Amino acid sequence: MSDGGTGPRTDAGTIARAHRDPGFCRFHTDHVVVLEWSAGTGWAEPSLEPYGAFTMDPAASVLHYGQSIFEGLKVFRQPDGSAALFRVGDHARRMARSAWRLAMAEMPTELFQRACAELAVADDAWIPGGPGQSLYIRPLMVANESELGLRDSARYRCMFLAYPVEPCFGRDFAPISVTTPGDLVRAVRGGTGEAKCAGNYAASLRARKEAVARGFHEVLWLDGLERRWVEELSGMNVFFVWRDASGVRLTTPECRGTIVRGITRDCLLTLARDAGIPVSQEPTSIDALVDGATSGRLVEMFACGTAAVVVPVGRVATDGHDVTVGDGREGPVTARLRDALTGIQHGVRPDRHGWLRNVRNDLASVRTGTHR
């Protein structure tokens, strides 16, 4: 690993000011970890470099054919002052699946994990410790061959960036409003909907822009064939809490190739089961959502993702309907699941599922080859 740690460092006062109000990715840290892949030699060693612009040939294939994938994962300051990566192996595996779908180079889990740990150690001063705060790591991989022929690239550049953050919809988790996107669709089965590729996010921006112009926070995507089944928001999975005579039940759409396999989604399914809440991955139609909200059977709805954490959805608008979910405010199941998750992340609840990895131990073990 080459060491860019000798580059300019931000002074402590500036970092402290960033930590007072980090927002979401408003401030980048001092470093970036770069890994290059080429068809002839495979992955090169990670290189820690000062954060900065880099040059790219206008013929670089990502600019023409869109081979671009990313991840988003977090490092949390722990009560003893150490720092821990959250489900880093799962993020690595998901990035490899995205790479496979876009015919890009798949990065081994150990290398991904090492890049994250190297960056977190180099930029340790940037890891905030306030309530709800974390360091967000954004691994990004782009095709970097200067070649206009349409084929998968022979060169990729992967960059790990980092930002001190708070949840992207704000630290108070105020309920958001969503609307369905008219005629636009995001994904169909067999497409790239499950991959964290730039194209999926680009495809969501038109509908999101229109939703925001109409006063909503986000788009609620429906399936691409029947435009009937609820799928996800532009960058978040979605959950429903239903109540009947036997109690409450949590549901979320299944992962069948059109939605991102959210790691926060998976945590919440696990934590709900731990809490004895019945959970089911099943389809929910937009009609059932509207009927449920109107009849009072649908008592809570929330969105989740690494960046957003867990945020209540208080209002849903769709063709001719505009409904309030529950009383429009955050419900107890939403709050309980978020507390369970953030408690583990911040090290104040036991990590029963082994989701946290101490950054320095991890780095030592990957460097000495004892990594599991």
Contacts of 84 (CB under 8 A, 6+ apart): 75, 76, 78, 347, 356, 357, 358, 359
Residue closer to ligand COI (CB basis): 165 or 333: 165
Residue closer to ligand COI (CB basis): 195 or 286: 195
Mutual angle of helices 263-274 and 332-345, in 10-degree steps: 110
CB of 40 to ligand COI, least distance (A): 32
CB of 256 to ligand COI, least distance (A): 20
- Taking alpha carbons only, the member of 82, 78, 73, 162 closest to residue 109 is 73
Residue closer to ligand COI (CB basis): 72 or 164: 72
Residue closer to ligand COI (CB basis): 168 or 238: 168
- Interface with ligand COI (CB under 6 A): 72, 168, 201, 235, 305-307
326 touches 313 (CB < 8 A): no
Which residue has its beta carbon closest to ligand COI? 72
Contacts of 275 (CB under 8 A, 6+ apart): 336, 337, 340
Mutual angle of helices 88-101 and 109-122, in 10-degree steps: 120
CB of 201 to ligand COI, least distance (A): 6
250 touches 272 (CB < 8 A): yes
Intra-chain end-to-end CA distance of the chain, in Å? 20
Rounded CA separation 147/150 (Å): 8
CB of 72 to ligand COI, least distance (A): 2
Residue closer to ligand COI (CB basis): 4 or 72: 72
Residue closer to ligand COI (CB basis): 36 or 166: 166
Contacts of 86 (CB under 8 A, 6+ apart): 73, 74, 75, 76, 345, 355, 356
CB of 327 to ligand COI, least distance (A): 27
CB of 150 to ligand COI, least distance (A): 27
